[in-house]
Amino acid sequence: MPSINLRQVEAFRAVMLTGGMTAAAELLGVTQPAVSRLVREFEVSSGLSLFERRGNQITPTPAAATLLAEVERSFAGLSRIADLAQAIRTQAAGSLRIAVLPALASGTLPRFLGQFLRDRPQVHASVLGMPSHLVVEAVAAGQAEFGYAAGPLERPGFLVDPIPSAAVVALPKGHRLESHPIIQPQDLANERLIGIASGTLFRSRIDTALAGINCSTLIETPLTYTACVLVAEGAGVSIVDPFSAGEFTDRGVVVRPFEPWIESGIVQLRLRQRLPTPLAQSFMEAFATYLSGSAVRHTGPQ
């Protein structure tokens, strides 16, 4: 018995919906003989008598009515597939798997992601917050499509795009330096500094900038977010990235620019051989722009 093909099923469905071969031909945009041929082939392939023919009149058999119900379910499935394909093309559906360091995972990235998803209700997103070295491993292992880590970063097989930003000074509200529009190293003399744990490039940049300045570092933490919590509680001042500091501007922390420039930027990374989906590409481009603007907003007078 010949196999059933989709074109035969389409012809059968069109005849059932329109009530005749001629109308079905108009619906499908083919000739009436072509529809008649496809319907007869469908009857042969299915082994069923689907229509009673009296001259130019056709009447569906009970078998045709029963078969139509299943055909309609199948076409509904095809319609859903077509709708999903359209949604993916227009970036209304799909998935985002993002690995991100704590400085962004604590607020900046989820806030932007929420805005990004408002008009994309069918997009599934997962955000993996983790230290920068694990961000790299998550992307390498395919657990995340792309990620954000502390820079600089050089690793074979990765495309790495820097997103520069200047470090800022986080002060407890009411601190004597709150009136300074810009804070310089000498302004921090005799201050209690909450340090970012040693051994990182960011910490070495801070130490270089503060060389010769008499300030005490009695509290250290690897997380700039934790440093900002301590600042909010009045434990001292800290030099941090603007994204962590920006989460505390209404929580007892004042943020001021620091000179000289200390790079505290983020890098965006993905595997070189794995092309991003259009949805991921749109997110990465929009988020990079958002980060640049966010860094500027968080360094102005509060």
Mean pLDDT of 251-279: 91
pLDDT tens string 104-153: 998 899 999 999 998 888 888 999 999 888 999 999 999 999 999 988 88
pLDDT band at 168, cuts 50/70/90? very high
What domains can you pick out in the chain, each with its CATH number? 6-89 (1.10.10.10), 100-161+265-294 (3.40.190.10), 168-257 (3.40.190.10)
Please check the confidence at residue 302 and state whether its pLDDT lies above 50. no
Q: How far from the centroid of its chain's Cα atoms is residue 113's Cα?
A: 7
At 301 the pLDDT is 44
Q: What is the pTM of this model?
A: 0.67
pLDDT band at 50, cuts 50/70/90? confident
What value does the mean pLDDT of the chain take?
87
Greater confidence (89 vs 48) lies with 48
Please check the confidence at residue 193 and state whether its pLDDT lies above 50. yes
Number of neighbouring beta carbons within 10 Å of residue 117 = 15
Greater confidence (191 vs 57) lies with 191
Cβ-count burial of 181 within 10 angstroms (0-12 exposed, 13-18 middle, 19+ buried)?
exposed
Between the two ends of the chain, the Cα-to-Cα distance in Å is 80
The phi and psi torsions of 99 (rounded to 5 degrees) equal -105, 135
